[in-house]
Structure 1
Amino acid sequence: MTAAETDEQLAERLATAAGAILLDLRARGGLDGKTLGKAGDERANAMLCREIRATRPADALLSEEEKDNPARCSNSRVWIIDPLDGTREYGEGRDDWAVHVALAVDGVATVGAVALPGLGVTLTSGVPVALQPANQPLRMLVSRTRPAAEAVFVAERFHAELLAMGSAGAKAMAVVLGQADIYLHTGGQYEWDNCAPVAVAQAAGLHVSRVDGSPIRYNNPDTYLPDLLICRKELAEEVLRVAAEYSSLA
């Protein structure tokens, strides 16, 4: 780290380094499934927290793997991290897992880096990805294990193909990379699940909001976030309308 390292560079460096730790641990063998996921979470989290505290000592920190300190809410700058998003996928030897490193400033996802170590890629708000043309037919992301009824309803209205994928970060980055067009999640997440993906998606020019169209705010006393929409901007108005229609029928 040098004195000139920006927040964007720090986020990218740390997300990539955590991914390397996770890949190395998995490659060594001897652990698998939940045991591997737990060990990976602990090692990646230890490095990330140590580095953030050393390089940004005045900032607050919120991690999935650390006991929350409510004092963070009085700090305008908070780093929000998920050392291993998609523990199940990581433990199963899949590639659809991620590392999230984000900085929220005054409640806004301002800086983000999402490493996809299994694909050898780290996407960052500092170097936005150029969006690709929409897929034909459209493609909509859903959970591998519990596709949300709202998402299936919207996909049917758009005649979109359903694409099952693991972690939240992997799904969000699939939209950024043009592999899919809509990521609608209504099953509940936490701030570390989507702060970094939201920052990267916003920087790439995608629409990001709650499912009612309101903005997503971070560094809240309660870190639970009920829902999320990441999609191409030209689809946002209609996706929100159809999602609202589903809510009225439910």
Structure 2
Amino acid sequence: MRESDGELAARLAAEAGEILLTVRADAGLSGMALGNLGDKTANDYLCAALAEHRPEDGLLSEERKDTSERLAMLRVWIVDPVDGTREYGEARGDWAVHVGLAIDGVAAVGAVALPGLDGGIVLRSDAPATVPAMADVPRMVVSRTRPAPEAVAVAQQIGAELLPMGSAGAKAMAVVRGDAEIYLHSGGQYEWDNCAPVAVAQAHGLHCSRIDGSPMRYNQEDTYLPDLLICRPEWTERVFAALARI
């Protein structure tokens, strides 16, 4: 029986994560060299697996040369083999594998693997769980190296606690897992950075949009998608009100 899109996304994300852990354990490398090897190894695996199991679909990967053929396709897989290459190379846990599927420009299916956390976790759009209760004081995840000025300003206005973290996928999944309430980013991303996380977050009932409130759109000719807001619905209006005052 053919796997559903959600089952395939989850399996490939998990298997790519296992491959990456093996590479990190066996390669004898660290830093950028390890990150580059991990990117290539996971990308080769994901591209080959999607070509085998979904040959009729398009593919956009951070680590593969983009072509225009995908623009005419309704279904396009959008993957990031290692989201958070720096964190992976530093043997941290806050990195991820993204396997997303955009259908007619919408992030419809996604799986985000967090291989370095709790023995390996995969969060998926086809199997949403109940999001834990919110904290009394809102927590906002931000980049551990380059916190976005807009995020810092919003946090000051709404009294949020800043939680520095690595990859985009790890930050988005912190909101899904109940470890944070808000992820606001404005420092520059591409479609592969947030397609799978947005699909997963939306399936869990979270708000997902650009920071101007417009929808996230995928499989565009220009893959630059620089900003997003993923947050608990209870905080959406207050975050947008704070953004309007900046």
Number of matched pairs: 244
The unaligned stretches of length 5 or more in structure 1 are: none
Partner residue, 2:29: 31
The Cα of 1:55 is off from its aligned counterpart by: 0.5
Distance 1:12 1:157, change over 3 A: same
Contact kept, 8 Å, 1:212 with 1:244, in 2: the verdict is no
Partner residue, 1:41: 39
- Give me the whole-angstrom Cα distance separating, in 2, the residues matched to 1:100 and 1:244: 31
Residues 30-81 of structure 1 deviation map (CA, whole Å, 9 limit, x = unaligned): 1110000000000000000000011101100000000001110110000000
Residues 78-116 of structure 1 deviation map (CA, whole Å, 9 limit, x = unaligned): 000000000000000100000000000000000000000
The Cα of 1:4 is off from its aligned counterpart by: 2.6
The unaligned stretches of length 5 or more in structure 2 are: none
After TM superposition, list the pairs within 5 Å mapping 1:92-241 onto structure 2.
92-119=90-117, 120-241=120-241
User: What SS is found at the alignment partner of 1:225?
Assistant: coil
Q: TM-score, normalised by structure 1?
A: 0.96
- Give me the whole-angstrom Cα distance separating, in 2, the residues matched to 1:73 and 1:245: 37
Contact kept, 8 Å, 1:195 with 1:218, in 2: the verdict is yes
- Give me the whole-angstrom Cα distance separating, in 2, the residues matched to 1:134 and 1:25: 37
User: What SS is found at the alignment partner of 1:84?
Assistant: strand
The Cα of 1:244 is off from its aligned counterpart by: 2.1
Contact kept, 8 Å, 2:158 with 2:238, in 1: the verdict is no
Partner residue, 1:21: 19
User: What SS is found at the alignment partner of 1:224?
Assistant: coil
Identical residues among aligned pairs (%): 64
Task: Specify which of 19, 37, 49 is matched with residue 51 of structure 1.
Answer: 49
- Give me the whole-angstrom Cα distance separating, in 2, the residues matched to 1:70 and 1:96: 32
The Cα of 1:191 is off from its aligned counterpart by: 0.1
Q: TM-score, normalised by structure 2?
A: 0.98
User: What SS is found at the alignment partner of 1:14?
Assistant: helix
Q: Which amino acid aligns with 1:89?
A: E
Q: CA RMSD in A?
A: 0.7
The Cα of 1:29 is off from its aligned counterpart by: 4.4
- Give me the whole-angstrom Cα distance separating, in 1, the residues matched to 2:94 and 2:129: 19
